[in-house]
Amino acid sequence: MIVSEVTTMFRQYIDEPDQTFVTDAMVTTMLAQAYREFQWIVSQVDENIYTASVDITVTSASSYDLTLAANPVRIFGLDANLTHPRFRKLISLFTVNSDGTAHQPLMPLTSQESLSVASDSFLLDGTTLRFPSSYSASLRLKYFPEPIAGGGAPGSGYVDWATGASFIDNLSMYHDLIALLAAKQYAILDGAFNEPLMAQLQQRTASLTEYLNTRNYAGAQYVSSVRTGHGFY
């Protein structure tokens, strides 16, 4: 779907005859927030759909500050002009070969104490990557980004909800869920609980989750069958 189709669906769901009560600007804001929620729902099932990745170089250091302006990669911070899409969730960290291919995954840790006993590992400490010791390597950080304004650059997760012809993503069969999530925001604004809408929202969320789980399972079965030499089943 494109933005105009989801916008039309949203206005049908809310059935608000007074267009001045829900302006186009409000619709844009509600749909943008709904899409962020939609992406988050998807990422909880398949974290690879909306991922971004950046390569960083660590040189004789035991940490890398992802907010520091002096560093070429910044994905955290209050500054709106980050060098890459803003970080929402860490997925993985790999060492990178000289030819640019991912090499070895580093094990994520949850405490500073565990760094002293686990090599080939890292800790995301607030906005800083920490390593067991002084370290030199090229690393690839894969993460779930926050959508940013300014255009749909690869990995930005951005959709221009003010432009009707804007493409959203490839999960078009579930884009009605974006309209439903936006309609939920409207129901809060309107002060009226919409039971049919909430029931449809729950049903479509469950359907999306089931679809993603089934697709991931089928993909895993296919990979397994190729590796073992058996036919797909």
Express each pLDDT in 54-111 by its tens digit: 899 999 999 999 888 778 888 887 766 677 778 888 899 999 998 888 889 999 998 8
φ, ψ dihedrals at 163, nearest 5°: -115, 115
pLDDT digits over 106-119, tens only?
Answer: 999 988 888 888 88
The whole-angstrom separation of Cα 97 and Cα 226 is: 26
pLDDT value for 230: 35
pLDDT value for 39: 92
The whole-angstrom separation of Cα 88 and Cα 90 is: 7
pLDDT value for 77: 74
User: Is residue 213 a contact partner of residue 45, using CB atoms and an 8 Å limit?
Assistant: yes
pLDDT value for 155: 44
Which class for 201: exposed (0-12), middle (13-18), buried (19 or more C-beta within 10 A)? buried
What are 96's strand-pairing partners?
102
Q: Which residues does the chain have with pLDDT short of 50?
A: 149-156, 219-233
